[in-house]
Amino acid sequence: MTHDGEPLPGGDTPVPPVRGDGTGPHPAAGRAEEPGGLIIFLNGTSSSGKSSIARELLGLLDRPFFHLPVDAFHAMRSDREIAPEELPSVLRRTWAGFHRAVAGMAAAGNDVVVDYPLSEPWRLEDCLALFPPRDVVLVKVHCPLPELERRERERGDRQAGLAAYQFDRVHAHGVHDLVCDTAAMSPLACARRIRDFLPGRPFPTAFERLRARGAGV
């Protein structure tokens, strides 16, 4: 493999080239259509432990998963000052793009762990429209507010008061497939709980129930 993950010439999985005029074979020619991937959606406030659970999950699950944290998408943005009046639209476009990136990865057959707070109603509504609801495991990552505030102070890399702002918002829709309390359980214990839940997970899923509820979830 090259440094950026592309197969070296002569590797085991060569991809037929597409000529500049568009007449060459499509890279997916002759390949059966991939089924959609599973989306494990970790929904919790800032500092609730979502990223720590996601990292543990990657080591426990029995097939390859991608960890897609929204913070990574913010980190990709160019390092330039954004005018205060522009910031809301820049952030909303980032979040909307993140939703579509997750949907695209899953549609291509990739299993993903999403690390993201559903702190505004439109975020949930957009994800409900984009993600196949039967393929989403929505996990409530809970932590009591005093512990969130303690973690926030100790981390020092989060805006003060962010967890408190999100606390009553992220779980306001009221429906999840599974609950993990990170004040009572370690990230590894939470990850094991999620892993053990997957084989026999019940239907309809939380996303199916939320979509059936309709607008204004």
Neighbours of 34 (CB within 10 A): 11
How far lies 214's CA from each of 14, 102, 112, 207, in Å?
A: 45, 22, 25, 11
Which tens digits make up the pLDDT trace of 59-94?
Answer: 999 999 999 999 899 999 999 899 999 999 999 999
pLDDT in tens, 104-139: 999 999 999 999 999 999 999 999 999 999 999 999
The answer to which of 29-33, 125-129, 157-161, 188-192 has the lowest mean pLDDT is 29-33
